[in-house]
Each structure stands twice: as C-alpha cells, then as structure tokens.
Copies of this chain bind each other. A is one copy, B any other.
Amino acid sequence: MKLYGYWRSTSSYRLRIALALKGVVPEQVPVHLVRNGGEQRGEAYRRINPQGRVPSLALDDGRVLIQSPAIIEYLEEVYPDPPLLPADPVARARVRGVAAIIGCDIHPLHNVGPLDHLRRDLGRPEEEVGAWIERWIAEGFAAVEALIDGEGYCFGSGPGLADVYLVPQVYAARRFAVPLEPFPKIRRAAALAEAHPAFQAAHPSRQPDAE
C-alpha cells in the first residue's frame, strides 16, 4: 500500500491518523505541494489522482483511492477493528456530523487553492486572508464545541472519527494563530488524542518530508 501525501496537509494528516489507528503501515510517497508549482498538479501525479490533490492511497493491486473522507470509510469497512464509529446509526451520524463540519465547512475554505486565489488572483492583503481563515475555523469550531462530549475524546472514552478530523484541524488552527481559548472542550479532546501513540506517529513533524 502506498500513501501519497504531504507532511503538513490537513487531509493527509487525517488519513495518516486513521491508518495508524487501524494498525496499517503504508509506504509513504511525499508529494510536495509548493515546490515546482505544486507537484500534485504535475502530469505524473495526475496519472495517479486525476484531481491533482493529496492524499491518495494506492492499494497493493494498483487500484487508487482518493479523497480522505472516502478512504477513511474504506478503512473502516475493510479494517473494522478498532472501530472509528460507534454501532448505533444515530450515534454514527452524530460522529460523522462533526467530521463533516470539519471536512466540509472548515478545512476546504483554508485549503491551499482558495488561499492562493485570495492572495494572487484577488490580491488581498495578509490581514484579510488571516481574517478569512479565522472566521471559518472559529465558526466551525463553535459548532463542534456545542456538539462533542464534555469529557474524554470527542465522543466517548476512545478515539474515533471525530478525533481523526479534529486533531489536524487544531494543528492548522495553531499554525494560522487562530485563538483556541473559546473552545475548552475541543482543547481537552485534542490534547487527549495528541497523547495517543497513533496520533503521535501521524504528526506532521514525524513524517519523512517534514521541513
């Protein structure tokens, strides 16, 4: 199995956590998102992933999966133990709902493409770009804060899908200097998960392409 990713990419980090929790250790193939105008946009990588984004997961038979939400659901189906989702359908929807707030309503808005567009195509100054990033993280985190448990991980006593999404989003929030003081439940759940060996192994600083 080969994981095409980038050390600091939120969605690559998310997928690395899921793989580590499942005990799956793929070969890592770094794709540099900045160098050479972005290696993910190059012809060689587009033959692997036509969307030209990371992460991608190439299975041992050569088939390639793309999009971290789809790949993580695949991992949950093929490697059910330990589970990232509870058994009850309503409980599963609650966990997936928090993952979707992060995966759909926060992360895509501060992804590399939109930020490049604001800076280069629209010529916006850094203070406007920073306010844009902070707005979507703060609004999304306010919803997450209202929805997760008051103790333990996001939901319950073990790490699950919501934690897989939350920890890289907290990492991105720190990187962009977004204040986390208003979100004590998020800070508690993230701190707990960050101490877990699988989350530690997946940390950007511990990847082969870390700078």
Query: Which residues in A have some Cβ–Cβ distance to B below 8 Å?
Result: 50-53, 59, 63, 65-71, 73-74, 77-78, 89-90, 92-97, 99-101, 103-105, 107-109, 111, 113-114, 117, 121-122, 124, 128, 131-132, 135-136, 139, 143, 146-147
B147 with A100: CB separation less than 8 A: no
Chain B, Cβ-Cβ closest to A96: B70
Distance in angstroms from A183 CB to nearest chain B CB is 13
> Contacts A122-B124, A122-B128: A71 and B93 contacting too (C-beta < 8 A)?
yes
Q: Once the chains are docked, how many angstroms separate the CA of A24 from the CA of B121?
A: 45
> Contacts A101-B67, A109-B108, A132-B117: A50 and B96 contacting too (C-beta < 8 A)?
no
User: Chain A interface mostly helix, strand, loop or mixed?
Assistant: helix
Distance in angstroms from A180 CB to nearest chain B CB is 18
Q: Once the chains are docked, how many angstroms separate the CA of A33 from the CA of B12?
A: 34
Chain B, Cβ-Cβ closest to A135: B117
Q: Which residues does chain B contribute within 8 Å of A59, judged by CB atoms?
A: 90
B69 with A100: CB separation less than 8 A: yes
Distance in angstroms from A89 CB to nearest chain B CB is 5
**Which of the listed residues A53, A66, A97, A105 has the most CB atoms from chain B within 10 Å of its own CB?**
A97
Q: Once the chains are docked, how many angstroms separate the CA of A161 from the CA of B100?
A: 16
Q: Which residues does chain B contribute within 8 Å of A68, judged by CB atoms?
A: 100
